[in-house]
């Protein structure tokens, strides 16, 4: 605890600069993003993500997890600003109020910066639009122990605050990259990673395909499916059986079914 009084003006330039990071343009211009929530900040710290500044509202720090995260934020040496409940309400945006927000520099999302283990399992999501879906896929991908999540032709920025939130911070743990679909297809070929694409009209059931070895699970946007880039001979299309009245599954649900079938076959 500092003895300085908590900052209580939402008009403070540092608070205003932090709030501006909710806009994609500002994130791209500064190379920074805003992380809301104790668990999310904790996972960023565990991944050695660079923290530029943080904001803490002592009156809202209630859990042991949140107290521990504040202590670790203090250890980083980055500026830590104590703020009032009112200012924290401006800074935070999730449905929880953990009392801590951090400004961080996300890691590189360059394909060529990914380091892969032997026989990697990776996920490629094309044209993902909703940050919530991206975050949900990252959370599941972390659970399945994937080597990387790659966003192809993404319509949202990967380190969107809502993606960070929906991932519960696992976005800082799973290596992520972005690129054009054609570039990713080349990258997979160069690394001898076999792409398996989810398609509603594929003739083969996913469970009948060998999902061991170096493998990429490729998923398209829910409304439009995968683009023609993923229709080549090097890509194996697979179908998740639809036994009811609906014609498709949520993209993060489809990712979960395919990833955990791969995990099952690999162990």
245 touches its own copies (CB under 8 A): yes
Q: Give CA angle at 159 (104, 150), nearest 5°.
A: 130
d(CA 158, CA 144): 19
Shortest approach of its own copies to residue 75 CB, angstroms?
Answer: 20
Question: Hey, how many other C-beta atoms are within 10 angstroms of the C-beta on 7?
Answer: 17
Contacts of 234 (CB under 8 A, 6+ apart): 185, 189, 194, 195
Nearer to its own copies, 166 or 226 (CB): 166
Which among 234, 139, 248, 129 is positioned nearest to 184, based on CA atoms?
234
Give phi and psi for 154, each to the nearest 5. -65, 140
Where does this chain touch its own copies (CB under 8 A) — which range of 19-27, 76-84, 189-197, 255-263? Answer: 255-263
Among 57, 127, 252, 262, binds its own copies (CB under 8 A): 252
Show the site string, 105-144: x = touches its own copies by CB under 8 A, - = not.
-------------------------------x--xxxxxx
Shortest approach of its own copies to residue 17 CB, angstroms?
Answer: 30
Shortest approach of its own copies to residue 8 CB, angstroms?
Answer: 32
Which among 198, 241, 239 is positioned nearest to 216, based on CA atoms?
198
Where does this chain touch its own copies (CB under 8 A) — which range of 21-29, 68-76, 78-86, 236-244? Answer: 236-244
Q: Are strands 100-105 and 33-36 parallel, antiparallel or unpaired?
A: antiparallel
Nearer to its own copies, 29 or 242 (CB): 242
23 touches its own copies (CB under 8 A): no
162 touches its own copies (CB under 8 A): no
- Whether residue 100 contacts residue 70, with contact meaning beta carbons closer than 8 Å, is answered with yes
Q: Give CA angle at 193 (198, 263), nearest 5°.
A: 60
Where does this chain touch its own copies (CB under 8 A) — which range of 1-9, 58-66, 188-196, 247-255? Answer: 247-255
Nearer to its own copies, 15 or 259 (CB): 259
Shortest approach of its own copies to residue 257 CB, angstroms?
Answer: 5
261 touches its own copies (CB under 8 A): yes
Residues 66-85 that bind its own copies (CB under 8 A): none
> Is residue 266 classed exposed, middle or buried when 0-12, 13-18 and 19+ CB atoms within 10 A define those classes?
middle
Q: What is the 3-state secondary structure (H, E, C) of 48-75?
A: CCEEEEEEECHHHCCCHHHHHHHHHHHH
d(CA 195, CA 189): 9
Shortest approach of its own copies to residue 153 CB, angstroms?
Answer: 22
90 touches its own copies (CB under 8 A): no
212 touches its own copies (CB under 8 A): no
202 touches its own copies (CB under 8 A): no
* Distance, first Cα to last Cα, the chain: 48
Q: Which residues bind its own copies (CB under 8 A)?
A: 43, 46, 136, 139-145, 168, 170, 173-174, 207, 240-246, 249-250, 252-253, 256-257, 260-261, 263-264, 267
């Amino acid at each position: 605890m500092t003895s300085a009084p908590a900052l209580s003006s939402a008009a403070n330039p540092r608070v205003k600069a932090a709030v501006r990071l909710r806009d994609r343009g500002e994130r791209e211009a500064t190379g920074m993003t805003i992380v809301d929530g104790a668990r999310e900040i904790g996972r960023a710290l565990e991944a050695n993500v660079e923290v530029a500044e943080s904001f803490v509202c002592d009156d809202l720090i209630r859990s042991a997890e949140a107290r521990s995260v504040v202590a670790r934020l203090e250890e980083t040496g980055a500026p830590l600003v104590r703020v009032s409940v009112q200012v924290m309400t401006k800074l935070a945006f999730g449905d929880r109020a953990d009392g801590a927000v951090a400004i961080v520099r996300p890691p590189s999302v360059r394909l060529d910066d990914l380091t892969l283990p032997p026989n990697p399992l990776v996920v490629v999501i094309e044209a993902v639009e909703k940050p919530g879906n991206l975050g949900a896929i990252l959370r599941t991908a972390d659970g399945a122990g994937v080597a990387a999540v790659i966003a192809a032709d993404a319509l949202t920025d990967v380190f969107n605050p809502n993606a960070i939130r929906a991932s519960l911070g696992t976005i800082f743990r799973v290596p992520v990259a972005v690129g054009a679909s054609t570039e990713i297809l080349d990258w997979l070929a160069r690394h001898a990673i076999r792409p398996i694409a989810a398609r509603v009209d594929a003739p083969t059931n996913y469970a009948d395909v060998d999902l061991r070895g170096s493998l990429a699970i490729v998923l398209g946007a829910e409304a439009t499916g995968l683009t023609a880039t993923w229709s080549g001979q090097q890509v194996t299309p697979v179908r998740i059986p639809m036994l009811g009245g609906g014609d498709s599954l949520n993209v993060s649900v489809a990712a979960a079914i395919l990833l955990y079938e791969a995990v099952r076959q690999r162990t």
